Amino acid sequence: MPRSITPNLWFDGNAEEAAEYYCSLFPDSRIVSVVRGGGQVLTVEFELMGQSYLGLNGGPTFRFTEAVSFVVTCEDQAEIDSYWDRITADGGEPGRCGWCKDRYGLSWQVTPKGMDELFADPDQSRAERAMRAMFGMKKLDVAALQRAADGS
């Protein structure tokens, strides 16, 4: 039985740079090891908040798509603003409904804690109002989602 599953992220020669960038974004993150061959970085093992990842310099054959993404669950609006701004900086791009891409093309959704509960509210009309409000947003606005759910 495997002891863990590690996401493998394919980069075009900048896996170490990307790993350093990701480690700078999140607390309790670090580069674990860098494997070199022929004077080049082949792989970078890193941890983000205790989760292991492997960055592979595999070349230009494959690119990130929205089919794979990471969700960042934030405590409050200030944290949402901070992660959103840092992820979309320097070549990243905003998307809809809290989704954005970083400068490497990796997709992230920056969400508030409790969003799942809001959208699963037993009062279906509250949940639908909040969902409709989210559809009109790029970066999520916690207060606006709550106001929409409350019908104000």
Q: Are 140 and 110 in contact (CB under 8 A)?
A: yes
Q: What are phi and psi of 69, to 5 degrees?
A: -150, 170
Phi-psi group of 33: left, alpha or beta (phi > 0 → left; psi -120 to 50 → alpha; rest → beta) = beta
Please state, rounded to an integer, the average pLDDT across all residues of the chain. Answer: 96
Could you tell me if 82 and 137 lie in one domain?
Answer: yes
Could you tell me if 41 and 90 lie in one domain?
Answer: no
Looking at residue 2, its pLDDT comes to 81
Could you tell me if 5 and 75 lie in one domain?
Answer: no
Closest CA relative to residue 70, chosen from 121, 18, 34, 33: 18
Q: Count the domains in the chain.
A: 2
Q: Are 130 and 118 in contact (CB under 8 A)?
A: yes
Q: What are phi and psi of 45, to 5 degrees?
A: -95, 130
Predicted TM-score of the model (pTM) = 0.92
Could you tell me if 32 and 46 lie in one domain?
Answer: yes
Longest pairwise C-alpha distance within the chain: 62
Could you tell me if 80 and 56 lie in one domain?
Answer: no
Could you tell me if 35 and 107 lie in one domain?
Answer: no
Could you tell me if 40 and 85 lie in one domain?
Answer: no
pLDDT tens sequence across 49-92:
999 999 999 999 999 999 999 999 999 999 999 999 999 999 99
Could you tell me if 87 and 138 lie in one domain?
Answer: yes
Q: Residue 134 sits in which domain range? A: 64-152
pLDDT tens sequence across 19-29:
999 999 999 99
